Structure 1
């Protein structure tokens, strides 16, 4: 069964989306990055929050739309209170966290189930389900928006020291959660 990875690009002040869930700011920071490029092959499934699924994509309307700039395809599990009435190919809509985590990890095989979305990331961290945290910190201050980490229920989540990689577009910090 796969491991659960919470990863995102965030501004230096901690936002993964701007006001109104705007992701267009990210376009300037989507450059070559060996950590991101290598990650794509390590992802077996995605666990996506409902707001992220319905939200903005910095590559919207291009051939690069979708997870990892369109470089990844595979099973996606969307955690939502309001699943659509009509099925969407390649997408499984799930209404409870435990089922979403179990299904996405099982679908990932021996790879990562990658969390996409701040709220589902928070829920998985609070539940103690996250194995790794990967932050790409972009050199920008957004000043407002959707924080990567919002109120983790007062829990202290210990992390091992990160693996660090730097490019002109971001600094990546890859942490393993201490058990």
Structure 2
């Protein structure tokens, strides 16, 4: 069975978007959080068009190759224009966790309305032994609260955004992490943590 992981670009002050994220405007004014995807000379082996630095490509492709399904929250789904009817990951199936109907959902996407446990269970089934990636702060907070997360990866970008959508939402309890790997790279530091249970 695969692991449940969250890997996300985040500012040094903890934001995953800039000001005013919304459909058609994506990350608001926080687009630079993903500059490291394109600032290198090493092509990703998983995502076409990504050219990363060598250390970033090593970390990114290691994680991306493990993912067989993605669980995204409704805000992320809407801000990302429904992922064009597909998935944010070229080789992974997409599960949308939402508490309301999604008439725009396609046959390539799966809607789960009964909570994080069911969404992760469905994603693990769809992943066929590979890992499940979590997208969005609300999804991560719910999964951490339910004790479902195995790893948290922060691709920390050296910028202070000061405002936007915070990655870590309010948690009902402390979550202990153990640092597994820290990889400095141009424009980003990759921090991989194991969740301690």
Common fold: TM-score over 0.5: yes
Helix, strand or coil at the partner of 1:161: strand
Unaligned runs of 5+ in 1: none
Counterpart CA distance in 1 for 2:104 and 2:138 is 24
Which residue number corresponds to residue 32 of structure 2? 25
TM-score, scaled relative to structure 1: 0.86
- Which has the bigger relative contact order, CA under 8 A and spacing at least 6? 1
Q: Which shows bigger deviation, 88-97 or 104-113?
A: 104-113
Counterpart CA distance in 1 for 2:163 and 2:188 is 19
Unaligned runs of 5+ in 2: 39-51
| Structure 1 residue 102 corresponds to structure 2 residue 121 | yes
Counterpart CA distance in 2 for 1:114 and 1:10 is 16
Q: CA RMSD of the aligned region, Å?
A: 2.1
Deviations 1:112-149 (A, max 9, x none): 10001111111101111101100000011111111111
Change (3 A) 1:99 1:158: same
Counterpart CA distance in 2 for 1:30 and 1:55 is 19
2:189 pairs, out of 159, 171, 176, with: 171
Deviant stretches of 4+, over 3 Å: none
| Structure 1 residue 128 corresponds to structure 2 residue 144 | no
Helix, strand or coil at the partner of 2:91: coil
